[in-house]
Amino acid sequence: MLRSLLLCLLIALPAQGASLRDWVDELGAADGEQKRELLAQIAASGDDKSDRVLDAFARGALYLDRRNSSVVIAQREGSSYLLSDVLSGEDLGSAGRRDVRRIAIDNSLRAELQSLQSIARLSASDEQQRASAIAEILAAPTVTALKALAAREPLEPVAELQEQIAIGLALQSIAGSDPAKVETALVVLRGRVDPVVRASLATLVEREELPEALRKEAARLLSLAQSRLLWLSRLESLFFGLSLGSVLLLSAVGLAITFGVMGVINMAHGELIMLGAYTTWVLQQLLPGHPGTALLLAIPAAFLVSAAVGLAIERGVIRFLYGRPLETLLATFGISLILQQAVRSIFSPLNRSVLTPEWLSGAWEVTQGLSLTYNRMAILLFSLMVFAGLLTLMRYTRLGLQVRAVAQNRAMARALGVRSARVDAMTFALGSGVAGVAGVALSQLTNVGPNLGQAYIIDSFLVVVFGGVGNLWGTLVAAFSLGVANKVLEPATGAVLAKILLLVALILFLQRRPQGLFPRLGREDSN
């Protein structure tokens, strides 16, 4: 006990006028207890080089140079030793075996060194080293280390690390038996939802030796933490629902255009999404080490690749089957199988992983217990930008005007000189290109494989039918509605049952409102 108090005093009040160099040199002639005191002073010095000294001492690399009574780092080289300065690392030449003596370290001192090294790293200039030191001290706390941690708290420049220190010290106080310290710690822990904090509060509630008022306060804080965690979980589910909705929007909006204008049930739409994802992977192989650049280039590239394939499908197959929906469905289903097999033959049936750029990695911690991943936020924003672009195209361009005219009344549009065959081809290419762009986004959420599109084709049709065939705003509302509803139901029912319940609800809705949320104005005549 006396030793611990002495070390705490040394940390709180370092020797006046002494320097790190002085303490290091004194190690050469010190006995066991003096070494312990000197090491405590070195650890608490706040000097970046103190960790280097402690590490060398732990490795048994500290030697006394008898020629000038200084302490150096020595490495044996044959019959002599290579010397270097403890603090600067400067080469000091060599010395004979009789010129140096290793500074001994006993087992009890070795056991304390890890804690002392953690104390030394509390003052490191590198933020990661300080964070690591804080975690090490809190994982295996000692009186000396906790004293150093408390002294470091007001000096720590990073708010997150300062908060980590405060929480750690509060948890240590809760584990103690001093009611005054426990009461102070409860004030610090108010509003925290960490699992460790909640477990500590739950334990505190059961400790009958503490005053009842403290146990009631702990129970109240535990209830508040659980309630806060529940609301944060709901917000996180809402975010994941919006994220799923953005994926559904990207995968369905292209289908809404082709299905709404041409009345074609394109079962190969999922494979066009897959082609966009593979385009992203190929560009990353062509630009190794630049995943961000490859991802940005993949957006126009995937649009062009999928649009070209879609144009070929429309010109080669679908234009001969207008007005025959069953044959169109079967033909596009066959095309989807051909595209899948072509990808398997070219890229192999194995899944491919697309790298996530550094600026899309990680998450934004809004508050404790609520983190939003950057890649999902980016996809949400990207889907809205794609939707806005399509909406602008459909409303303010000549192609958009012709598409809307053909969708509302094909015969009248032809009579007014609109080349409906050209509009069909351009519309199908546009919808296919948007599907390719959806593949770029999906490559950041899942692996790329031949069956990637199959997971989204059914959901895409459900979104289009639910929102109203051919209505872009309906597609937007339907995509986010189904995405949020799915993620809200999942925690209570499970993923599979949630999809089943949504499908049943959608069927019942379409029985009452077969045209969807936003029925199309006007009518579409047959070809």
* CA distance linking residue 479 with residue 475, whole number of Å: 6
Tokens 């690390």 correspond to what residue?
161
Letter string b/e over residues 3-20, b meaning 16 or more CB atoms within 10 A of that residue's CB: eeeebbebbeebeeeeeb
pLDDT at 18: 57
Q: Which helix (H) or strand (E) holds 74?
A: strand 70-77
* CA distance linking residue 67 with residue 332, whole number of Å: 89
Tokens 């996809």 correspond to what residue?
379
Contact status, residue 134 vs residue 122, Cβ threshold 8 Å: yes
**Count of CB atoms situated within 10 Å of the CB of 526:** 8
DSSP state of 405: H
Contact status, residue 7 vs residue 40, Cβ threshold 8 Å: yes
* CA distance linking residue 464 with residue 476, whole number of Å: 9
* CA distance linking residue 181 with residue 396, whole number of Å: 68
**Count of CB atoms situated within 10 Å of the CB of 427:** 26
Tokens 């895409």 correspond to what residue?
460
| Domain spans of the chain, in order of start | 2-126, 130-230, 246-351+375-512
Measuring CA to CA, how many Å separate 19 from each of 15, 24, 93, 478?
Answer: 8, 9, 24, 70
Sign of the four-CA dihedral 137, 141, 145, 146: positive
DSSP-derived secondary structure for 231-242: HHHHHHHHHHHH
* CA distance linking residue 66 with residue 260, whole number of Å: 92
Cα 391 from chain centroid?
31
* CA distance linking residue 225 with residue 36, whole number of Å: 43
pLDDT at 388: 92
DSSP state of 174: H
* CA distance linking residue 389 with residue 441, whole number of Å: 16
Cβ partners under 8 Å of residue 523, min gap 6:
408, 409
Cβ partners under 8 Å of residue 514, min gap 6:
none
* CA distance linking residue 511 with residue 491, whole number of Å: 28
pLDDT at 12: 42
pLDDT tens-place values along the chain, 527 residues long: 434 444 443 444 444 445 778 888 787 778 777 777 787 777 777 777 777 788 887 877 888 888 888 888 888 887 788 888 888 888 888 888 888 888 877 776 766 777 777 777 777 777 887 888 888 777 777 777 777 778 778 878 888 888 888 888 888 887 777 888 888 888 888 878 777 788 888 888 888 887 888 888 888 888 888 888 888 888 888 999 998 899 889 888 888 888 766 778 888 988 999 999 999 999 999 998 888 899 999 999 999 999 999 999 988 888 888 778 888 888 999 999 999 999 999 988 888 888 888 888 888 878 777 888 898 999 999 999 999 998 898 888 888 888 878 777 777 888 878 887 888 888 889 989 999 999 999 888 888 989 888 888 888 888 888 888 778 888 899 999 988 988 888 888 887 888 888 889 888 888 888 888 887 654 444 44
* CA distance linking residue 452 with residue 271, whole number of Å: 8
DSSP bridge partners of 373: 363
CA angle 11, 14, 15 (to 5 degrees): 145
* CA distance linking residue 90 with residue 83, whole number of Å: 9
pLDDT at 7: 45
Cα 344 from chain centroid?
31
Cβ partners under 8 Å of residue 159, min gap 6:
none
Contact status, residue 238 vs residue 301, Cβ threshold 8 Å: no
